[in-house]
Amino acid sequence: MENKVIDLRRIARLAGLIDLIWIGTGLFAMFYIPSRINTRSDIVTASESILSHELLFRIGILNGLVSTVLWVLLVLLFYRLFKSVSRFLVQLLVVLVIVQMPTGFIMEAFNITSLMMVKGEILNTFDLHQRQDLAMLFLRISDYMVWVLEFFWGLWLFPLGLLVYRSRFMPRFLGVWLIINGIAYVVLCIVTLLLPQYKDIVFTYAFPAMLGELAFMLWLVIMGSKTIDN
């Protein structure tokens, strides 16, 4: 039993550290890169912004790939951590994450393809404006994929929240917060798809709820080494 407790401590701490890095890659992609590379403006401005910050654009692509791999490692650690709580819920958790992986890789493939089009490395028989149009199309498809993924970002938090709530080694309020966090993502996705004009308003009100993942990560990092009685 003592070895099992020690093992769970290590898993929880490692999961927290990977979660910390994973959230960091997400914040880098969501806030820092858009602040430096303007792809939401007109086609010409967006193309010039990408070319003037090509290295950062490539770093963003690498960041997306690393983030996807980290998420796989994280969910596998969650599987080990929570498998004794509910095998069905933890398997559902893994499935809801794994099904998202191909989309993440496709999004980065679209991004690198957009860069190649803007630079004229492919489709050389097309004129500049045609290549720019196609590049922006691929970037917009990548953005729309993020909107769809928000639905699954919410869904995977439901089994995770229930697992945390039912476990005997984590605070129940974290489980409730994660479930609310999941609901916020699902609602944001639905509003974005059906009523995009209200997306920013909904995000503003939903933002506090969406800090549940951050709170969960901090608990794992800070308290993960404490006694876990399972």
pLDDT in tens, 164-216: 999 988 899 999 999 999 999 999 999 999 999 999 999 999 999 999 999 99
Residue 112: predicted pLDDT: 94
Q: Which domain holds residue 218?
A: 2-223
**Residue 186 forms part of a structural domain:** yes
Residues comprising the chain, all counted:
230
User: Number of structural domains, the chain?
Assistant: 1
| Average pLDDT across the chain, whole number | 89
pLDDT digits (tens, 9 = 90+) for 17-75: 999 999 999 999 989 999 999 888 778 888 889 999 999 999 999 999 999 999 999 99
Cα–Cα dist 146/33, whole Å: 15
**Residue 125 forms part of a structural domain:** yes
Q: Is the pLDDT of residue 95 over 50?
A: yes
Q: What share of the chain is helix, strand, coil (3-state, %, to 5)?
A: 85, 0, 15
Residue 60: predicted pLDDT: 95
The first and second tokens of residue 39, run together, are: 């792809």
**Residue 229 forms part of a structural domain:** no
**Residue 228 forms part of a structural domain:** no
State mean pLDDT over 90-109.
93
Predicted TM-score (pTM) of the model is 0.87
The first and second tokens of residue 18, run together, are: 């990977």
Cα–Cα dist 39/143, whole Å: 10
**Residue 93 forms part of a structural domain:** yes
**Residue 230 forms part of a structural domain:** no
Q: State the CB neighbour count (10 A cutoff) for residue 124.
A: 8
Write the burial class of residue 55 (CB in 10 Å: 0-12 exposed, 13-18 middle, 19+ buried): exposed
